[in-house]
Structure 1
Amino acid sequence: MGALMSVDPYPDWLRPPVGGYTADDLDRLPDLPPHTELIDGSLVFVSPQVRFHMRVLRVLENALAAAVPSGWEVLREMSVKIDTRNRPEPDLMVVAEEGNTGQSQTFSLAADVLLAVEVVSVESKIRDREIKPVKYAAAGIRFFWRVENVDGRPVVYTYELDPASNRYTPTGIFHDRLKIDHPFPVDIELS
């Protein structure tokens, strides 16, 4: 009979360090699940996405990519480094091309993000409605969109940062068509 090997069934990163993880740890921890986020020093694992989520992302990404002005680009499911303890992953974001540091870049800096978009899922409601918008606003991300599934149809809630309060102010609710002028002109058929 062969010798029995002792194998730790859990990766080391399941045991967080004292004080939690840092934004830079996301690039160093081996074998993290895809789309792992860092919120207040804690790793957040994302559930598999449903068809609604993927379809809405495709429509928004394609429309934003067609409308984004020169000097900006649309990134999908890439993290944004807000500070040393927060590196969430918006579903979509519009970022300054000047912040592009190359093909191996794993995140954008909050200062380079113009718009963050979250498509709310059952498991992410609290993060997408309450936690991430507060963090995005505190980081100075000027525009935020939240997309909700209402009876199987997307409803987009748009917000702009109020510099006096450093909080988002609602700018619109869009059911069938998202037609706006800010942060740049966009006309998206949502149905």
Structure 2
Amino acid sequence: MTVKLNERNRPEPDVLVFRADADAGPDQTWYRPEDVVIAVEVVSRDSQERDREVKPRKYAAAGIPHYRRVEENDGLPVVYVYELDPMTRSYVPMGIFHNRLKLTVPFPVDVDLTAVDRRR
């Protein structure tokens, strides 16, 4: 599923959280930025620049309120949490989570990151 930023720009987040009323059915292939609550990118060796710089800049400019970036450190996920500053249309870092991801915004989340499967 992609986010349609404009006619020539439809990035595809690794995970996408959208408003329930934006679901148009099984033939839908994209969401509008205003329908997206959180965009998540999982960084891999070949996606570092895209996921750390390019995509967050595009998501922020489009007004997507929350961005999460997941990276790997010693076999475990590390989650970087960002929220949109509406005045600058850029993301502000809100925290880096190593062992436990516990958030209340935009909805409650509590994940034990040490329990994530370590496949190699």
TM-score (norm 2): 0.92
Does the residue aligned with 2:27 lie in a helix, a strand or coil? coil
Gaps of 5+ in 2: 115-120
Q: Could you tell me which of 79, 87, 93 is aligned with 2:16?
A: 93
Gaps of 5+ in 1: 1-77
Shift of 1:82: 1.1
Shift of 1:158: 0.1
Structure 1 stretches (4+) deviating beyond 2 angstroms? Answer: none
TM-score (norm 1): 0.59
State which structure, 1 or 2, has the greater radius of gyration over its C-alpha atoms.
Answer: 1
* CA–CA distance in structure 1, aligned partners of residues 30 and 66 of structure 2: 18
Aligned length: 114
- What residue in structure 2 maps to residue 155 of structure 1? 78
Between structures 1 and 2, the one with greater strand share: 2
* CA–CA distance in structure 2, aligned partners of residues 112 and 102 of structure 1: 14
Shift of 1:99: 1.2
Q: Could you tell me which of 100, 104, 112 is aligned with 1:177?
A: 100
Residues 104-183 of structure 1 aligned to structure 2 (within 5 Å):
104-183=27-106
* CA–CA distance in structure 2, aligned partners of residues 133 and 100 of structure 1: 23
Does the residue aligned with 2:105 lie in a helix, a strand or coil? coil
* CA–CA distance in structure 1, aligned partners of residues 39 and 65 of structure 2: 9
CA RMSD of aligned residues (A): 0.7
Shift of 1:152: 1.4
Does the residue aligned with 1:82 lie in a helix, a strand or coil? coil
Q: Deviations over 1:155-176 (max 9, x none)?
A: 0000000011110000010001
Give identity over the alignment, percent: 57
